[in-house]
Amino acid sequence: MLDLNSDKSIYVQVAEIIENEILLGNLKEEDQAPSTNQFAKVYQINPATARKGLNILVDEGILYKKRGIGMFVAEGARKKIIKKRQVAFFNEILPEVIKEADRLEITLDELIDYIKELKGGE
């Protein structure tokens, strides 16, 4: 779902929608990705904006183009997305979580216990 009020660019959100569909298994290797026109119609955005989002994924090797047919999910796309998002999680998200926990005087043990609770006691 696109969030037009987000600080994140619409084309980045388009790329993330496709990535999420791949991660969820709704789009598998060699499946055809939605076209720029489909995106434009469903989300009521400019086709050029949708194209820019899809082209990001082409540049990253997550999608590939078949001339005259459309864009398709590349082999190994899911693994590439997972790796990319793990790097972002460890480099961007987790440090912010730890800083906020420190500001709120949440100990590392409390944080770990809560994470375990959220994951079902693993």
> Per residue in 80-108, pLDDT tens?
999 999 999 999 999 999 999 999 999 99
Of the CA atoms within 13 Å of residue 82, those in its CB half-sphere come to 8
How many domains, the chain?
Answer: 2
98 plus 42 within the same structural domain: no
In a domain, 36, yes or no: yes
Phi, psi of 71 (to 5 degrees): -110, 145
Residue 111: domain span: 78-118
pLDDT of residue 3: 64
In a domain, 4, yes or no: no
In a domain, 1, yes or no: no
In a domain, 46, yes or no: yes
Q: Tell me the C-alpha distance between 69 and 80, whole Å.
A: 24
- pTM beyond 0.85, yes or no: no
pLDDT of residue 122: 58
17 plus 68 within the same structural domain: yes
Residues in the chain: 122
Locus of tokens 């987000």? 6
64 plus 23 within the same structural domain: yes
Residues of the chain with pLDDT under 50: none
